[in-house]
Amino acid sequence: MKKLRMLWAILKRTHADKILFTFIINLFVVALLILLVEPDIHRYIDSLWYCYVSIATIGFGDIVAVTILGRLLTVYLSLHAILVIAIIPGVIVSYYTEVVNLRERETVTVFLDKLEHLPELSKEELQQLADKVKKFK
């Protein structure tokens, strides 16, 4: 649960949550439009199932689009899904990498600050510094 909250926080900070919400809204709207234009789809849940199968590129073939508009909507939804599936993980990985780099820079800055003030450090601080240097070797 904590990881999901952290993931949601990253999505909100990077504004990728808007991309995700737009995709979800598009999914339900396209499912409704497919329900209206496709003669073989009679229930909304079947339309959602068709959209899911199209997005996941599974293509079971149990429900197919036969109208031009239905096929165009399927192509639109599939392309939108591909973009979202590419963007969201990219944003998360980029954010995580930036956080790791920032922490690394802060650690190096503190280390260099201690080196600049070497004569002012206590014996314990000097020993800690020596231990850190040994770890880097």
Is 87's pLDDT higher than 80? yes
Judge if pTM exceeds 0.75. Answer: no
Domains of the chain by residue range: 2-136
Is 78's pLDDT higher than 90? yes
Tell me the pLDDT tens digit for each residue of 101-116: 888 877 777 777 777 7
Alpha carbons 73 and 67: distance in angstroms, whole number: 10
Q: CA 76, 78, 83, 87: dihedral to nearest 10 degrees?
A: 140
Question: Crossing angle, helix 68-116 and helix 123-136, to 10 degrees?
Answer: 130
Average pLDDT over residues 60-67: 90
Q: Tell me what pLDDT residue 39 has.
A: 95
2-136, CATH topology level: Helix Hairpins (1.10.287)
Q: Tell me what pLDDT residue 100 has.
A: 84
Q: Tell me what pLDDT residue 73 has.
A: 97
Tell me the pLDDT tens digit for each residue of 13-58: 888 999 999 999 999 999 999 999 999 999 999 999 999 999 998 8
Contacts of 53 by beta carbon, 8 Å cutoff, 6+ apart: 59, 60, 62, 63
Q: Tell me what pLDDT residue 127 has.
A: 85
Is 137's pLDDT higher than 70? no
